[in-house]
């Protein structure tokens, strides 16, 4: 079993929809949780960065972490065609500095 599980999709939604992306994990040592967006032929771009449980909002993006359930989510409101990309969850914790454990990535397409 992988340490981090992420539904690869693909996910296809109409413009303006609310998108929900999710990851589950098994390692209790994870304390830092990130969401990256990766466009084709580009590197991952940091979208959201959260510590421990709770919610964090940044514009149209909201990240949620539930450590008791080992579950994290990213919500995208009013989705746009420019949001079409692969979304990767990533986690770190303990003393494994510089080492992130990634989910497989979810491919999202927002169609006009």
Partner 1 sequence: KAGVTQTPRYLIKTRGQQVTLSCSPISGHRSVSWYQQTPGQGLQFLFEYFSETQRNKGNFPGRFSGRQFSNSRSEMNVSTLELGDSALYLCASSLWRGSDSPLHFGNGTRLTVT
Contact footprint for partner 1 (CB under 8 A): 31-32, 34, 36, 41-46, 49, 51, 88, 90, 92-94, 96-105
Q: Which residue lies nearer to partner 1 by CB, 40 or 112?
A: 40
Q: Which residue lies nearer to partner 1 by CB, 44 or 65?
A: 44
Q: In b/e form, how buried is each residue of 38-77, taking b as 16+ CB within 10 angstroms?
A: eeeeeebeebbebeeeeeeeeeebbbbbeeeebebbbbbe
Minimum CB distance to partner 1, residue 112 (Å): 27
Q: In the block, which residue shows the tokens 């008791």?
A: 68
Q: Which of 97, 100, 35, 33 is nearest to 67 (CA)?
A: 33
Q: Which residue lies nearer to partner 1 by CB, 47 or 110?
A: 47
Q: In b/e form, how buried is each residue of 11-35, taking b as 16+ CB within 10 angstroms?
A: bebeeebebebbbbbeeeebeebbb
Q: Which residue lies nearer to partner 1 by CB, 18 or 46?
A: 46
């Amino acid at each position: 079993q992988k340490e981090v599980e992420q539904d690869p999709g693909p996910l296809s939604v109409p413009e303006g929809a609310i998108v929900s992306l999710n990851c589950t994990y098994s390692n209790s040592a994870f304390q830092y949780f990130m969401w990256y967006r990766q466009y084709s032929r580009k590197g991952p771009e940091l979208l959201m960065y959260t510590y421990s449980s709770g919610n964090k909002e940044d514009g149209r993006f909201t990240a949620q972490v539930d450590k008791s359930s080992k579950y994290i989510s990213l919500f995208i409101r009013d989705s746009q065609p420019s949001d079409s990309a692969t979304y990767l969850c990533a986690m770190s914790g303990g003393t494994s500095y510089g080492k992130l454990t990634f989910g497989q990535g979810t491919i999202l397409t927002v169609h006009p």
